[in-house]
């Protein structure tokens, strides 16, 4: 791996982790759902629009995807939040919103990225 790519992942990881932390402070468990849903959309959009179309240099695409979005989303906090919920119904609702919402937003990001890429290809 190239040094520039490592620096990019480090730098953007700091940004993503900091944004996640700040949203978590403001919104508690809701912040975890929010960052994971936003992250699902952003990673799919980045993958299908920016990365596949090579709109950015590889070091920057890796920094944004792996570094920023990877640090922004968090499976470990998601798991702890689910375990900390007081009722089975609350935990089930939280899981459904996170998993189904994540898939739907990732799909939306993918479709938007593909469509925007096709518009750009026609120009």
Q: Which residues are annotated as a binding site?
A: 70, 73
d(CA 38, CA 30): 12
In sequence order, which residues have a C-beta less than 8 Å from that of residue 35 and are 6 or more positions away?
Answer: 19, 20, 23, 24, 72, 73, 74
Q: Helix 88-122 crosses helix 29-45 at what angle (to 10 degrees)? A: 30
Query: Which residue ranges make up the annotated binding site for Na(+)?
Result: 70, 73
Residues 21, 23, 25, CA angle at the centre, nearest 5°?
70
């Amino acid at each position: 791996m190239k040094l520039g790519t490592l620096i990019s992942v480090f730098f953007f990881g700091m940004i993503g982790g900091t944004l996640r932390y700040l949203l978590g402070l403001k919104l508690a468990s809701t912040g975890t759902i929010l960052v994971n849903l936003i992250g699902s959309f952003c990673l799919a959009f980045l993958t299908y629009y920016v990365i596949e179309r090579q709109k950015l240099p590889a070091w920057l695409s890796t920094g944004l995807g792996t570094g920023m979005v990877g640090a922004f989303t968090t499976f470990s906090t998601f798991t702890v939040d689910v375990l900390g919920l007081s009722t089975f119904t609350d935990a089930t609702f939280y899981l459904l919103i996170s998993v189904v919402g994540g898939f739907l937003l990732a799909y939306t990001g993918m479709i938007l990225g593909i469509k925007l890429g096709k518009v750009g290809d026609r120009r």
